Amino acid sequence: MPANEPATTLGEDYSSEGAAPTTWSAAVGGMTEAEIFWLSTVRPEGRPHVTPVLAVWADGALHFCTGPGERKAKNIEGNAYCVLTTSTAGGNDLHAGLDVVVEGEAVRIEDEPTLLGLAEVFEAKYGSEWHFDVLDGAFKGAAGSRALVFRVVPVTAFGFGRGETYSQTRWRFDGEG
């Protein structure tokens, strides 16, 4: 099975009768359109930390950036495993939309060609106010601030569909069901 085509299962116990699993392409479409993501990391003493971030889907992964002194960057330094969550279409509407949860490891991106490409993707998605230059293995904002860039390749992901039917879909990327 190709790395970009996960094993897909429907959580029948958590889905409406007759529900079908959400396709991975629908989840990717939702992540591409979503503007706000919630990043969950773990503090050094084990307490959870959740914060909103902007993220883009590119090259089979979610990408986000943060200042090197921010809590999320410090947490990732100690434990790279994290979760990114977003909601599409209906947002917090109980009866419409798709929630997507992506579990994986945050890996810092430092090579200039990749960063330049990601800077273009961020600006295309969020507008010129989110223009980044690339300097010394990081994004550089208009005010001179430095932002580390991280890639999260999905290991496991979940989709929670809401509407006429409710569905819980699980995607695994290691070839296991």
pLDDT (tens digit, 9 = 90+) per residue, 47-103? 999 999 999 999 999 999 999 999 999 999 999 999 999 998 666 777 788 999 999
Structural domain contains residue 3? no
Structural domain contains residue 153? yes
Q: Tell me the pTM.
A: 0.93
**CATH code for the domain of 105:** 2.30.110.10
Structural domain contains residue 160? yes
Structural domain contains residue 136? no
Structural domain contains residue 62? yes
Structural domain contains residue 80? yes
Whole-number Å distance between alpha carbons of 142 and 154: 31
Query: What tens digit of pLDDT does each residue of 16-26 get?
Result: 999 999 999 99
Burial of 128 (0-12, 13-18, 19+ CB in 10 A): exposed
- What pLDDT is attached to residue 43? 96
- Number of folded domains in the chain? 1
Q: Range of 35's domain? A: 22-109+147-172
Whole-number Å distance between alpha carbons of 160 and 168: 5
Radius of gyration of the chain (CA): 17
Structural domain contains residue 126? no
Whole-number Å distance between alpha carbons of 6 and 102: 12
Check if the beta carbon of residue 91 is closer than 8 Å to that of residue 100.
no
Structural domain contains residue 8? no
Query: What tens digit of pLDDT does each residue of 142-163 get?
Result: 788 899 999 999 999 999 998 8
